[in-house]
Structure formats: structure tokens, C-alpha cells
Amino acid sequence: MSRSCLIPAAAQRDGNDPIFALHGEAVRRAEAGESILNSTLGALMDDEGHLAIMPSVSEALAGIPPQSAAGYAPIIGDLSFREAVIADVLPAKLVSQAVAVATPGCTGAIHHAMMNFLEPGQAALAPSYYWGPYQTIANHTGRSVQTFNMFDEETRLDLEAFEATINNQMVEQGRALVLFNFPCNNPTGYSLDEAEWEAVADIILNMGKIGPVAFLLDHAYARFGSDASNRWVEHLPKMLESATVLIGWTISKSFAQYGARVGALLALNHDSSERELIANALGYSCRATWSNCNHLGLLAAARLLTDSELRERSTKEREGMIHLLNERVEVFNDLAGLADLHYPRYEGGFFVSVFTPDADKTADTMREAGVFVVPMPGAVRVALCTTPASTIPRLVDALDVGVRAAKSIAP
Ligand SMILES: Cc1ncc(COP(=O)(O)O)c(C=O)c1O
């Protein structure tokens, strides 16, 4: 008999996220004197390898009166924060259809979505390339993640697979919670175009007529997408005719403030009594988990979003970060095209994924050469957010050798 006090399921858990484990190895080897290129973590680094931060955000944090910051935040977050986030994401005409609660980052938003829009034992639906912690959160809450094939033969969203799988879920579990992370999907870098969004909205509309459908847009990297890729909001009214739309919002990436743990879950529904039920359920989940979020962070985020001067400055600072990323994206696209690497359309964002028949082999081969990327089934994820433009030639060479090794083609 096991002597552990842990329940058996908990005794099987890995305490370290695999990406952080790879990052740790890269740091250890670099400290031991090796030349290491570490393209693992999802945090934007400048070309000198320092975390990119936004002075306007530091100023907003420093400007909050200590006594306000020290007090508990309201359980669902300050009204000023919630209203500011809703106004940040939605066009004026949709604001009245939305409620929001504060969460510790988008991670907290995903947690609340799993807890409240799926029964225990049911599965959320995500594309086959998705952010790994969706699965961790699902397991932890007694749910799971089912996937549909993400890319069709033209490396566009496989709409047929999406429609068939969600349809099947509606038949089998009577409801669906869809997790989409666009624009600038982690891990693939892919952003849906107009036609893809239109088709997705049609599918959600039709499925919502069969039974309860919640469509969650994970907005973590959306501010790094192009104007065109952010036209998804125009498709919300159609989805809202029959479904609930959830938006996971966070300051982690868009304000380069990962450590503050400030985010929100927005929920849109056309019916005011349903909105009230949702707001109550989400508030209950806040109390049952973290109780209150970081008050300093919530107040600072509210100021950043509503003080016109600070907002303008933060937008400019973010434009600088987007410029830095876009330079890297351009160099990557140029060189990866020449090396004949296969990867989805990539126009911006923190990551891109390169397809390979054996991701472990590719990542192992690259690691031997001191280049760290993250393997996952079918591809390796490259964090251009941590990769200075000057090192991209080395990265692409290593990818080329790694993919060839996986295909057993001589370099
Ligand atoms: C796709 C995606 N969603 C959500 C998150 C959660 O971020 P946070 O909880 O810091 O807001 C991340 C973080 O890496 C992410 O990559």
C-alpha cells in the first residue's frame, strides 16, 4: 500500500511545467559557459536578453496609493477595472451585453470557463495545437480537452474537422466549450483571416441552436496581431445570436506585466437574465479559488486603460515591442523560406511552430547544438519573443538540421 498522504491522482503529478524545465536546462548550460540560444519561454526579451518592460506600466503601478493597494479588492474586481477591460476589448455596441470578473491572468479566466461551462467529466474543444496548460487546468478541474485537426492540406484552419468535432460533442455531451487562441496563436503563430472567422461564426451560430455553446477567445496575444487579424470582434454579433462568448483577457503580454497576475474573464450573452446568472456563477468561482485578485495590479490596469495620457503612452510603448517582434518575424520568414521549413502563415506574435515528423528528435538534435525549442506532437515551438534577430540565422540552421534528422535526411 502507498505510504503517501496524497490521493493517487495527485501523487502522479509533475510539479514543473515542461517548458519551464527546458528553460531551466538552457539557463544552466549557459551559466556553465556554453553558447546557448534559448527559444523556449513566452516572455518578450529585448535584443540584449533582458525582459522587455513598459515604463508606463511601472509608473501606473507606482502611482497607486499604498492604502488602496493594501486593501482587499472586491471579489469580482473593482468596477473601474471591469468596465475598463470591457471597453478595451469590445466595440461600444456590444458593451451592454457583457459582464466581467477579475482573474489572475488569462489562466484564471480559463479555469473559470472550465468550471462553469462544462460538467465534470466533459471535454473542452481546442485545435490540435494548443497551449498545454489548457489540459492541466482541465485535468485539475475534472474535465478534459478534446482536439480537432487544426490545419487542412493548405495549412488553413480545418473547418470541416472543427464542425464535425463540435457537432459530435453536442450530440454526446449536449454542450460545448470551445477554446480558441487567436490572433497570434500559441504555439503556431497562426491568425485566422476574415473568411476563416466568418466560417467559425457560422458554425458557432448553428451549434448554439442545438444546445448550450460557450466560445472562449483566449486574447493573450491579440494585441500583437495585425488590425486585420483583430477583426474577430465583427463576428461576435452572429455568434451571440445563439451562443455565449467568453474572452480571456490579460495584462501579462499586452502590458508586458506577467508577474502582476492581472486578467479578466468577460462573458457576453444577449439575454440579461442569463448574464446575471453567469456573473453570479463567476463571482462564486472567484470566492471559491483565489478569493480576490492582486489589488495593486487591478487598480494600475484600470488606470492604464482609462487615463488618456497613460493609455496613449502604453500604446506607443507596445508599438515598440510589436516593431521589435515584427523585425524578427520578417527575418525568420525570409530565412525559413530559403531553408524550406514548413510552418503555418506567420504574420506576428510571440511564437511560430515548425512542422516535423518527430518533434522529440528535432528538439534533441537542436539541443545538442545548444538551441532550445519546445517539442510537441507534430512540430517544435519557437519563441521568437526571446530570440534576437541577429541569432535567427543560427536558429533556422538548427531547425533545418533538426527537421532533416527527424526525416532521416542527411544535413
Ligand atoms: C495561449 C495562452 N493563454 C493564456 C496564457 C496565460 O497567461 P497569463 O495567465 O499570464 O495571463 C498564456 C501564457 O503563456 C498563453 O500562452
Mean pLDDT of 349-365: 96
Q: Is residue 409 predicted with pLDDT exceeding 80?
A: no
Q: Is 220 in the pocket of ligand 1 (CB under 6 A)?
A: yes
Query: Does residue 188's CB lie within 6 angstroms of at least one atom of ligand 1?
Result: no
40 lines ligand 1 (CB under 6 A): no
- Residues 286-314 have a mean pLDDT of 97
In SS3 terms, 245-267 reads as EEEEEEHHHHCCCHHHCCEEEEE
Residue 106, ligand 1, Cβ within 6 A: yes
Confidence of residue 14 (pLDDT cuts 50, 70, 90): confident
* Cα angle, residue 302 at apex, residues 50 and 100 outer, rounded to 5°: 110
- pLDDT surpasses 80 at 249: yes
What percent of the chain is modeled with pLDDT above 90? 93
Residue 400 has pLDDT above 70, yes or no: yes
405: CA distance to ligand 1 center in Å?
32
What are the cell numbers at 244?
Answer: 455565449
Query: What predicted TM-score, i.e. pTM, was given to this entire model?
Result: 0.96
Residue 146 clears pLDDT 80, i.e. is over it: yes
List domains and CATH numbers for the chain: 8-54+312-406 (3.90.1150.10), 55-307 (3.40.640.10)
Strands 176-180 and 213-218: parallel
Instruction: Quote the strand ranges of 210-355, DSSP E.
Output: 213-218, 244-250, 263-268, 351-355
Question: What is the distance in A from the centroid of ligand 1 to the CA of 282?
Answer: 19
Mutate to test the pocket of ligand 1, among 253, 265, 351, 381 (most ligand atoms within 8 A of CB): 253
For the ranges 16-25, 140-149, 394-403, the lowest mean pLDDT is seen at: 16-25
Tell which atom from ligand 1 comes closest to the C-alpha of 106.
Answer: 11
* Largest CA-CA distance found in the chain, in angstroms, rounded: 65
DSSP 357: S
Q: How far is the CA of 351 from the centre of ligand 1 (A)?
A: 13
Question: Would you say the CB of residue 196 lies under 6 angstroms from ligand 1?
Answer: no
Strand-strand pairing, 144-148 and 123-127: parallel
Cis peptide before 377 (omega within 30 of 0): no
The reported pLDDT for the residue numbered 245 is: 98
Quote the CA–CA distance of 80 and 306 in Å, as a whole number. 9
Rounded distance from Cα 107 to ligand 1 centre (Å): 6
Atom of ligand 1 nearest to the CA of 42: 14
In whole numbers, what is the pLDDT of the chain averaged over residues? 96
Residue 186, ligand 1, Cβ within 6 A: yes
Whether the predicted pLDDT of 12 surpasses 70: yes
Task: Give per-residue pLDDT as tens, 81-128.
Answer: 999 999 999 999 999 999 999 999 999 999 999 999 999 999 999 999
Which pLDDT score is estimated for 347?
Answer: 86
pLDDT band at 16 (very low <50, low <70, confident <90, very high): confident
pLDDT for residue 229:
83
Burial of 301 (0-12, 13-18, 19+ CB in 10 A): buried
**Cell output for 55:** 515604463
With a 6 Å cutoff on the Cβ, whether 74 touches ligand 1 is no
